[in-house]
Amino acid sequence: MVVVVVVVVVLVVLVVVVMVVVVVVVVVVVVVVLVVLVVLVMVVVMVVVLVVVLEAATQWAGQVMNYIFRLMQCASVEPFSLRNKGIVMLYWN
């Protein structure tokens, strides 16, 4: 009788220990998967933001270069030529 009780208690303890280990492993796996997903989402968001910022910066730089090129063209005309007199007077005023 005592042997049966000891065997049952040992089996119950083993089952409880195995269940606890399984629960801990499942929780660790779920936490690791969630952390990996969060890191992946952050990387994707950072790449999208970087692409958008670079696109905006490229457009802005293009506009600035276009403006500088136009100013250089206007500065290179002869100030007193009749053909370009209107443009030059605009920039002189």
Amino acid at 34: L
pLDDT of 37-69, one tens digit each?
Answer: 999 999 999 999 999 999 888 888 888 888 888
Q: Cβ of 1: how many Cβ atoms within 10 Å?
A: 5
Query: pLDDT digits over 17-29, tens only?
Result: 999 999 999 999 9
CA distance 39 to 33: 10
Q: Evaluate if residue 86 carries a pLDDT over 70.
A: no
Mean pLDDT, the chain, whole residue set: 83
Please give the residue that has the higher pLDDT: either 39 or 80.
39
CB of 81 within 8 A of CB of 71?
no
